[in-house]
């Protein structure tokens, strides 16, 4: 048999009856609000809008929003704006040129010298096709970056790693296989 102190018994009673107590308080508050909300209210003191006289002049139409005001709050650029932006094209073309440097250096080394490609790619088309996923990823990320109005000065950072990889690989072909 467990002996409870007076405080523990009181707490146990309130927790067991908590649902009943809260429902009783809720019913009392609803009854209080219903009783006093239908009381007679003086319209002059309540701030209510008086009814319009039928002989009064009609109200003017509401002002229409201006198109230029709507364009200021747009969060995204349109696809047309993105495709016309220099920031998108400089990033996309820069990545393509960097990967093209590596592909052309690899092709020249394969065609005229004794070195072999690490991945076993032999044609120029295979070399460019190998770079296609990276070019597509940079193009998509830079498109979304410009579309969401992110700062354009960050876009060259998207080219840092591809530039390091492709330029070092192209220069390695030049140093080792020419």
> Mean pLDDT, 10 residues at a time, over the chain (178 residues)?
58 52 59 53 57 69 64 77 94 95 85 69 84 94 93 90 91 80
pLDDT value of residue 175: 83
DSSP characters over 26-93: HHHHHHHHHHHHTS---HHHHTPPPPPPTTSPPPPPPPPPPHHHHHTT--S--HHHHHT-HHHHHHHH
pLDDT value of residue 143: 96
Reduced to 3 DSSP states, what percent helix, strand and coil does the chain have, rounded to the nearest 5?
70, 0, 30
In angstroms, how far apart are the furthest CA atoms of the chain? 102
pLDDT value of residue 45: 58
pLDDT value of residue 135: 94
Q: In Å, what is the CA distance from 43 to each residue of 37, 46, 54, 90, 158?
A: 14, 5, 20, 67, 66
pLDDT value of residue 63: 75
pLDDT value of residue 109: 77
pLDDT value of residue 33: 53
Residue 95 to residue 156: CA distance in whole angstroms: 10
Residue 14 to residue 8: CA distance in whole angstroms: 10
């Amino acid at each position: 048999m467990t002996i409870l102190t007076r405080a523990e018994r009181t707490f146990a009673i309130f927790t067991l009856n908590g649902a009943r107590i809260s429902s009783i308080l809720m019913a009392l508050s609803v009854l209080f609000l219903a009783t006093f909300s239908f009381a007679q209210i003086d319209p002059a003191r309540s701030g209510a809008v008086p009814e319009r006289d039928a002989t009064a002049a009609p109200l003017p139409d509401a002002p229409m929003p201006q198109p230029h005001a709507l364009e200021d709050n747009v969060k995204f650029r349109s696809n047309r704006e993105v495709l016309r932006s220099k920031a998108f094209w400089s990033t996309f073309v820069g990545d393509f040129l960097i990967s093209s440097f590596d592909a052309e250096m690899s092709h020249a080394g394969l065609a005229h010298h004794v070195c072999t490609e690490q991945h076993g790619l032999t044609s120029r088309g295979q070399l460019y096709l190998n770079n296609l996923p990276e070019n597509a990823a940079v193009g998509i990320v830079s498109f979304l970056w410009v579309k969401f109005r992110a700062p354009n000065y960050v876009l060259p950072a998207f080219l840092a790693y591809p530039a390091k990889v492709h330029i070092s690989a192209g220069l390695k072909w030049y140093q080792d296989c020419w």
